[in-house]
A and B are shown apart, each in its own frame.
Chain A
Amino acid sequence: MNILVCIDDTDNIESRGTGELAETLTEVIKENGWGTCSGITRHQLFVHPDIPYTSHNSSMCFKADIKDSRLDEVIVCASEFLVKESAQGSDPGLCVADLSQLQRPELLIDFGKRAKKEIFTKKEAYDLARKQGVHLSEHGGTGQGIIGALAGVGLRLTGNDGRFKGKHRIDAENNAATVKEIIAQTSIEEVRSLEGELLAENDRIRLGVKIKSVLINEKSVLLVKYLQGSTNEIRWETCNMKDLRSY
């Protein structure tokens, strides 16, 4: 079965980030033989004075393909993991959604999109989760992180939100590689321009300092921009973090 797992509000200014905890959780699931996990995505939520967050108000979500009989164990394990690993003063929340059981995923998607620009209460999050059969639980502090955790699942369900955690490493001569080489060496599935143009296999890309991919149409996509003033075969360069801030 395919599930989405999302956690939020697990850190304080001195602790490990929520992304690192999500990554550790994927390793725990794998080590226990419960299933496999793929790409952790970071989803930006509303930044507003009335919403408590450490520094950026984002949640971390990943997809897992687990054995049907292991769902309860995954939830219990993730819950205990958050209690044990979340930082002092944090308000951790956990959301786990069985994708095959979602009756109206559009309601979760709507919640996720609205959580980028509106303030929700815990009650609203719990009500929606209950109606949709989604696991939602809090594991310390005020438990406010459940709102971001549920929103993160909704945003991941859109297939078009967030940046993938981590950066890609590509072996390349002179800091340039073809689309084919990039796809062969990484988990990147497509290379597109910021305007949406799909690049061809033999297009060459100038590689920047940090190579990050984003979630577009449910794929891990490397975004590139036109290389101004290029006089050789390299017409594109990878986007930098400033270009990717809206993802």
Chain B
Amino acid sequence: MLLRIAWRNIGRNKKRSGIIIGAVTLGLAAGIFLMAFYSGMIEQRVRLAIQNETSHLQVHHPDFRKDYDIKYYLVNGPASQKQIQSQVEVKQAAGRIIIPGMIASPSGSSGITINAVQPEKENAITGLQQKVRAGSYFNPQKENSILISEKLIKKLKLGIGKKTILTFQDSSGNMMAMAYRITGVFKTSNTPFDENNVFVNISDIDSLAGLHHQYNEIAILLHSGSSLKVVQTKLKSLFPEYEILNWQELAPEIALTVSVGEQMVLIFMGIILLALAFGIINTMLMAILERTREIGMLLALGMNRLRIFQMVLWETVLLVLAGCPFGIGIALAAIGITHQTGIRFKKFSEVYASFGYNDVIFPELNLRQFLIIMILVILTAVLSSLFPAWRALRLKPAVAMRK
């Protein structure tokens, strides 16, 4: 009966209830869509980081990452790679030699990281071939070819077919230099990465670097990110002599972005809900004021204070919940459409790329985030009802009925 009274009370002042329901609809739609937008953005950043930079897991010599000295390579790298590849959760494992070095052209030089890769396996992990915008990917018939980025080619005033010199230290600490011919120009959605990385075929550099058929990094792509921890644990027990890190450990700044991004959305959602709460409190106080006499009568007849409290609480929660289907509907429709089409920020593509983001965002929302929002909305309704309910509870029947 309390629920029935509360629900019907919402219809007593249609205009006022309509305004609150409208506010809940707008607030919720904006909040959910914003959360989906940020979620899509963060998800994309993580996906790109895994794809371009870290993979799901990486295997190194325990000392390699201290100063990226190539003398710390993986003993029995190829055998380890084979064993890793045989794990059912592993989609692809690729061996790499990572060498800090310099790239030089007649017009300048630049500090870079030389990524010596297994072309086919690397492509299976990072999709490097698709990122080649001009020229071609590695060709087994062409030795000493190099892929460099659009940014770097402009900076060094180079072009496809031109030669460039890579200088680096080999595993014994000797300075080595080698000329490579530019066969392809790549572009990822991460400008800093593009400026600092070049790719060569591992077979063109391993002997020169002093690592004959060995690697100092094995990158691993999994079929599903959900098996990350399981595979990491399994590999740690298989290769106790190696350091095996997941993407969150390899790029803690991205893990931080995920957590900060979620917190920011929650803060934003909190601001929306706070504004909504004031509207709800105001509306319910007006309702209590208008119904002072009626509440006095209910108290007089024998409705105890707990029931009065429940009635106000139900009314507030129902008022808020009445707006939820519209808000959720609008948000889900908007997310559904934009998830297909994407939201393009063409004007800001350079800015986005400088932070490692694509300029097209595909909003997405998972069940967990949706439930968080719903819990926050209901919590807002409950908290907003407390003050009006308290005011109602303070009424004395004899005084209230004289109003």
Are A and B part of the same complex? Answer: no
B residues with CB within 8 A of A:
none
Please report A residues at the B interface, Cβ cutoff 8 Å: none
